[in-house]
A and B are shown apart, each in its own frame.
Chain A
């Protein structure tokens, strides 16, 4: 799912040319060498212009970049990463992005590349956190496969994965309510939902979920609920190192796993009952037939 952010079409010829140049740099520089010459002009002025290129995608798919030319998307990602440092001070806003751009030696006007509600900054951050989490879980899985660590129980695994992910919010926790409200803006919902679902799916995948029936949905729904409520608790938590939050998380995960086990028990009891009933019916009807035959 690609991010569907759309700025109103402020059509600059330069931006169109820039896009063409970055596209051409990806292909073999075969035929259009003369066009190359003409179009390479705008790239010299890149830092001073405000290119309206394709919006960066936040859903885990990298763009195609050649090694020696930095694409617009890569540049935007660099600016947003640099901007994170200024979030505690300026919030998730164009000011933070402008400050970030300045640390990279660009003009503050580069913030004009982005929406001025800070959407891209928040989405970029969330996407980065999810990627970090995936890498963490992947490494942990490798360790378990190599026999270097014990395999965790499901509830322990879920707790640890969610705690690791939530700890990434700690440096920005003061401004996280603002981030949440930005993620809930209608034009951000497709992206933020997609990021949330893929994170939850990743956690369940590494937890070893192999369900192929409706359980697939209930498990993810439950974990999403746990994550969201824990974030809310965390935003109001003032205990040292967020102990209250981790305790809340532990209880919610225990509840969920309990429910899962209870549901399994109910299901198997139900199935056993049905088998018993069918057996009884067959026995009775056979006996009745035998009696009638006499």
Chain B
């Protein structure tokens, strides 16, 4: 079909060498939404804590998320994947979550970071498993990107823990609530 020919990265379901467009589409859509959301969360945190002592640290983590988003923007265009309709919602929700957690102080912000990065890392791990089960060779480039990003998200998670995330007010409640939200966001962004 002309579509498969026009963009060599997408293939019809027929040939063995072509990628599974549906699976890859979902993966890129949800990852793009995740990085977009993470960007907004750090933006919210910076808006409140930007000029505090922890500001440079948050800025550094934010910069890495910006890199991640840039990469997924490229992959999205390359694989011709549509973004999730819910992006405007994640835009606002992410900012509100970031600013809200930062208003609880530095520890609140770190707790939010820990919760979100833990969710994202386990989500990336699931994707890595899925792709490995399909065909590690075919998806080598994508796997590399996801593995690298997962490692960087884990770093953020550890930084959060180092900076007293666990002594945040209502840490376990906060963490559970945020992770539930992340699960819902992931579920929806894969589909819509």
Name the residue of chain B whose CB is nearest to the CB of A130: B2
Partner of A134 from B2, B32, B83, B87 at Cβ < 8 Å: B2
- Known contacts being A131-B2, A135-B2, A216-B82, is A62 close to B87, with CB within 8 Å? no
B14 cross-chain contacts in A, Cβ below 8 A: 61-64
Q: Determine whether the beta carbon of B1 is less than 8 Å from that of A216.
A: no
Name the residue of chain A whose CB is nearest to the CB of B75: A212
Q: Determine whether the beta carbon of B85 is less than 8 Å from that of A134.
A: no
CA distance A62 to B77 in the complex (A): 24
From B5-13, B115-123, B155-163, give the one contacting chain A: B5-13
Q: Is A41 an interface residue (CB 8 A)?
A: no
Q: Is A60 an interface residue (CB 8 A)?
A: yes
CA distance A206 to B80 in the complex (A): 11
Q: Is A202 an interface residue (CB 8 A)?
A: yes
**Residue interface mask A116-146, B partner, CB < 8 A = 1:** 0000000000000001001101100100000
A216 cross-chain contacts in B, Cβ below 8 A: 82-83
B80 to chain A, nearest CB (A): 6
**Residue interface mask B46-83, A partner, CB < 8 A = 1:** 00000000000000000000000000110011001011
B13 cross-chain contacts in A, Cβ below 8 A: 61
Q: Determine whether the beta carbon of A138 is less than 8 Å from that of B1.
A: no
B2 cross-chain contacts in A, Cβ below 8 A: 60, 131, 134-135, 138
Q: Is B191 an interface residue (CB 8 A)?
A: no
**Residue interface mask A186-216, B partner, CB < 8 A = 1:** 0000000000001001100110001011101
- Known contacts being A138-B2, A138-B5, A212-B73, is A205 close to B80, with CB within 8 Å? yes
Q: Determine whether the beta carbon of A213 is less than 8 Å from that of B1.
A: no
29 contacts between A and B (CB under 8 A): A60-B1, A60-B12, A61-B1, A61-B12, A61-B13, A61-B14, A64-B14, A131-B2, A134-B3, A134-B6, A137-B6, A141-B6, A198-B3, A201-B80, A201-B82, A202-B3, A202-B6, A205-B80, A212-B32, A212-B72, A212-B76, A212-B83, A213-B83, A213-B87, A214-B85, A214-B88, A216-B83, A217-B82, A217-B85
Known: A212-B76, A214-B85. 17 other contacts (CB 8 A): A60-B3, A61-B13, A62-B12, A64-B14, A131-B2, A134-B2, A138-B2, A138-B5, A141-B6, A198-B3, A201-B80, A202-B3, A210-B77, A212-B32, A212-B72, A212-B77, A217-B82
